[in-house]
A and B are shown apart, each in its own frame.
Chain A
Amino acid sequence: MPLALSALAAGILFGLGLAVSQMTNPAKVLAFLDVTGAWDPSLAIVMAAALAVFFAAFRIAQGRPAPLLADAFKLPARREIDAALVAGSVLFGAGWGLAGLCPAPAITALISGQRKAFLFLGAMLVGMLIYRLTTRRHA
């Protein structure tokens, strides 16, 4: 339960930050990605600010045996830079550049009630399921 409450608080902060910085708006994100057009560098500021805070938080976490309200820090175990990382990143980036949405804003965009927001999230979930169903055989 404490983990759930911390996740709720973290989600609220994260969602508020996305809305305040307008990263919930696909047109704003595409304006950042359009380097040769009317470039809007706002997303770079958002990333830099978020990174600075998380970088400091991670240094603090490294000096602690466990998080405040959970048993252990669960960090990603993968280390290798392989073909899947490269192909997945390129494919994800292409989709991001086509619609202007990545997974977190895909959720907050639902607040707008627009049909395309639900369409994007639905398609994203289908894409995730296709990955799960097609890779289980090899695993």
Chain B
Amino acid sequence: MENFTPLSALAGGLMIGLGAAVLLLVGGRMAGVSGIVSGMLKPSLDDQLWRACFVAGLLAGAGAYAFFAPDNFIVQFDATAGTVAAAGLMVGYGTQLCHGCTSGHGICGVGRLSPRSIVATALFVASAMSTVFMTRHMMGAA
């Protein structure tokens, strides 16, 4: 567990929760990122401004951190370009089919004690762990 970073994980997690709390208590909306992004693809103008502002905020928050602490902002892809593209398709289609992702189901849904979201979160975490087990320990790929 030499890579375990509990303090930054705790601090970052509190900020993520606070962000979702602000959107709920001030704006009355759920911080489900797959829903916010897919909503921007709709041909309707309703709700587009706040969605765009949330996404701009995500980029600004992460961008500010990358600017001030560039050594700590690492984005390392181990997968090949083909795998990355296939994974993106699966994440896009899958999150629409189950109507949520790590934020919408995992944080907001489980935080509301929604049975639907608790089932979804258990399933996607188990599926992701199984996928990593198969690709790293059974097929020999990195």
Contacts and interface: CB of A to CB of B under 8 A. Distances in A.
A57 B21 contact: yes
Given A7-B57, A11-B55, A74 B28 contact: yes
Interface of B (DSSP majority class): helix
A95 B89 contact: yes
B88 A95 contact: yes
Interface residues of A, number: 119
B106 A97 contact: no
A130 to B, nearest CB: 6
A26 B76 contact: yes
A115 B77 CA distance: 10
B140 to A, nearest CB: 13
Contacts of B14: 17, 49-50, 53
Interface string B1-29: 11111101111111111111111111111
Contacts of B8: 20-22, 42
A102 B78 contact: no
B4 A42 contact: yes
Interface string B85-120: 111111111111111111101111111101110011
Contacts of A72: 28
Interface string A60-76: 11001011111111111
Contacts of B91: 92, 95-96, 99, 101-103, 106, 120, 124, 127
B87 A120 contact: yes
A84 B94 CA distance: 9
Contacts of A132: 38, 41-42, 96
Contact of B102 (A25, A26, A31, A103): A103
Given A89-B120, A98-B87, A109-B75, A78 B99 contact: yes
Given A76-B109, A125-B92, 18 more contacts: A3-B49, A9-B26, A10-B27, A14-B57, A14-B58, A16-B64, A21-B9, A33-B128, A42-B9, A69-B26, A85-B120, A88-B94, A92-B95, A102-B101, A116-B81, A116-B84, A119-B84, A123-B92
